């Protein structure tokens, strides 16, 4: 796959976020389900940050011990992050964190059910969204696990803010660490 430019990556992130938001909006329009609420409370903010840090730590361990995931993650992160400059990483955290959580945990999960089946479908759908090629199944498997964790956090707390914060924090930390590692690696 040919590398994309910085503007192409930013545009793709923006368009993807808009498409996911439109799907969420249309789903709410045609379904009787209601959006999982977003409530700002210190305990839920701390839970969201804890879940995000936990996902980041588990991801780091998976990266160290699972060679396929490491190769898949390196390919994906190089493709997406290499063209970006440091301030762009904020978009990398915010756009997917908001749009993906709104669709998968905010709309899909309550529509299917705030139960094991809803968690399963939401997590699997989230994993499939991260499929960028047939060789990337390790990354899809990891994204599916993350989708399960985010869905469980939404069901347990009943607050969409928790997976949103967790997702944003996970993306920000992993993006900054990958970019920092690349900047320190000799060419």
Domain boundaries, the chain: 6-184
The answer, yes or no, to whether residue 173 has pLDDT greater than 70, is yes
Cβ partners under 8 Å of residue 144, min gap 6: 123, 124, 126, 127, 128
Per-residue pLDDT for 9 more than 90?
A: yes
Calculate ∠ Cα 157-49-24, nearest 5°: 60
Q: How would you class 146 by CB atoms within 10 Å of its CB: exposed for 0-12, middle for 13-18, buried for 19 or more?
A: buried
**pLDDT per residue over 58-106, tens digit each?**
999 999 999 999 999 988 888 899 999 999 999 999 999 999 999 999 9
Q: What is the pLDDT of residue 185?
A: 79
pLDDT tens for each residue of 98-146: 999 999 999 999 999 999 999 999 999 999 998 877 788 999 999 999 9
Retrieve residue 71's tokens: 């190769």
pLDDT digit string (tens) for 23-44?
999 999 999 889 999 999 999 9
Q: Which of the four pLDDT bands, split at 50, 70 and 90, describes residue 1?
A: low
């Amino acid at each position: 796959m040919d590398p994309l430019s910085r503007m192409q990556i930013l545009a793709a992130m923006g368009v993807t976020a808009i498409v996911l938001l439109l799907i969420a909006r249309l789903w709410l329009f045609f379904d009787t389900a209601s959006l999982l609420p977003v409530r700002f409370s210190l305990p839920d903010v701390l839970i969201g940050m804890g879940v995000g840090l936990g996902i980041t730590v588990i991801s780091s361990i998976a990266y160290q011990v699972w060679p396929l995931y490491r190769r898949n993650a390196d390919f994906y992160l190089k493709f997406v992050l290499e063209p970006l400059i440091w301030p762009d990483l904020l978009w990398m955290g915010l756009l997917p964190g908001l749009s993906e959580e709104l669709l998968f945990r905010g709309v899909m999960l309550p529509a299917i059910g705030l139960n094991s089946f809803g968690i399963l479908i939401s997590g699997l759908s989230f994993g499939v969204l991260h499929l960028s090629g047939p060789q990337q199944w390790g990354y899809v498997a990891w994204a599916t696990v993350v989708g399960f964790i985010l869905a469980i956090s939404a069901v347990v707390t009943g607050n969409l803010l928790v997976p949103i914060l967790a997702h944003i924090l996970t993306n920000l930390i992993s993006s900054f660490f990958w970019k920092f590692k690349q900047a320190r690696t000799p060419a």
